[in-house]
Chains A and B, each alone.
Chain A
C-alpha cells in the first residue's frame, strides 16, 4: 500500500502527467468552410479526440488527444488526405486546442490591424 502511494505521488509529480498532446498541422487546399467540413467530420469521429480545431485563414488544423491516447503522424495525415487535402507541415505541441485557437485569433487580429 505504501509502495503504491509513493508510486502515485511520484507519477503525479512528473510533468508528463500534466502534458497535453496536440497534433497541429498546416493544410493545403482548404479554401472554404463548406469544403473543409469533411475534415471536421473526420476528426470528430476519432475516438482519441479530446478537441479539434479548423481555421481557414491560417490553414491550421489541430487535434488534441485524450490522455493516454495516440494517433500517429501518418494516421493524422491520412485523415486529412482522405478528406481531400494535403498536409504541408505537422508538429506535436503541448498546447490545448483552446490555446492554439486563441493564439491563431491573436495573430489574425494583429495581421488584420496592420
Chain B
C-alpha cells in the first residue's frame, strides 16, 4: 500500500517536472529534449520531444479528454513541432509555431486521430501573449481547441534568478464540459525550470479545478 502511494506520488511529481503544453516555447534549444504536460480535471496531456536542430522537434504525445457524460478518449501519437517564423526584437520575441500529432484514438472514440495546430506568441521581459488553435479529430470525434493567454511579470530578473509571472488563460474545447475554461495562474520561470500553478474556473463550484504544470529541458 505504502509502495503504491510512493509510486503514485513519484509519478505525480515527475509528471509535474514538465512543460505546460500552452507555454510559449514548444521545444528546447538545439540538441535538447523537453518534457511537457498539462494536468487538469477536464483534460490531460503530455509530450516528450527532441530537437535535433533549431526549429524542429520530434516526439511522442498523449492526450486524454472526454465529453459530457462520455467515457474518456485517449490519443497516442507521434508529434512534430516546427518553428515557422521567429522575430527577435531588442526587448521582445515573437514566434509562429506548427505542432501536431498523428496517432490512434481509443476510448469513447476509436481510430486514426490527427491534431494539427498553429500557435502565435509574443513576449518581452515583462509582458506575454499567446494564441493557439488546434484541431483534434478522430472518426466521429471533434475536440477542436482554441486558447489565448496573457500575462505580466512582477519584476525583471537576471539570468540566474527566478521570475514570477501572473498569467490568465481562456480556453474552449468543443464537446468538452465546461466549454470555456478560464485559468488564472502563477508562473515561475528559472533558467532550469518552468513551474505553473493555476485554478480553472475558480468561481464555479463543481467546475473549480486546480491545474499544475511544469517544464524541464535537458
Q: A residues engaging B (CB < 8 A)?
A: 28-38, 40-42, 54-57, 59, 82-86, 88
A86 and chain B: residue at smallest CB distance: B88
Binds A, one of B24-32, B64-72, B107-115: B24-32
A33 and chain B: residue at smallest CB distance: B191
User: What is the predominant secondary structure among interface residues of chain A facing chain B?
Assistant: mixed
For the complex formed, measure the closest distance between the CB of A59 and the CB atoms of chain B, giving whole angstroms: 7
A41 and chain B: residue at smallest CB distance: B29
* Of A33, A38, A85, the contact of B160 (CB 8 Å cutoff): A33
* Of B55, B90, B161, B215, the contact of A88 (CB 8 Å cutoff): B90
Complexed CA–CA distance, A84 and B25 (Å):
11
Binds A, one of B97-105, B151-159, B169-177: B151-159
B23 and chain A: residue at smallest CB distance: A34
Contacts of A34 in B (CB 8 A): 25, 189-194, 215, 217
Check A56–B125 contact: CB distance below 8 A: yes
Complexed CA–CA distance, A37 and B217 (Å):
9
User: What is the predominant secondary structure among interface residues of chain B facing chain A?
Assistant: loop
Chain A CB within 8 A of B85 CB: no
Chain A CB within 8 A of B9 CB: no
* Of B54, B125, B157, B158, the contact of A82 (CB 8 Å cutoff): B54
Check A85–B25 contact: CB distance below 8 A: no
Residue from A33, A42, A55 with most neighbouring chain B CB atoms (10 Å): A33
Residue from A37, A55, A88 with most neighbouring chain B CB atoms (10 Å): A37
Task: Beyond A31-B123, A33-B158, A35-B25, list 17 extra A-B contacts (CB 8 Å).
Answer: A28-B89, A31-B93, A31-B125, A33-B157, A33-B191, A34-B189, A34-B190, A34-B215, A34-B217, A35-B24, A36-B191, A38-B28, A55-B159, A56-B157, A57-B156, A83-B29, A84-B54
Contacts of A84 in B (CB 8 A): 29, 54-55, 86, 88
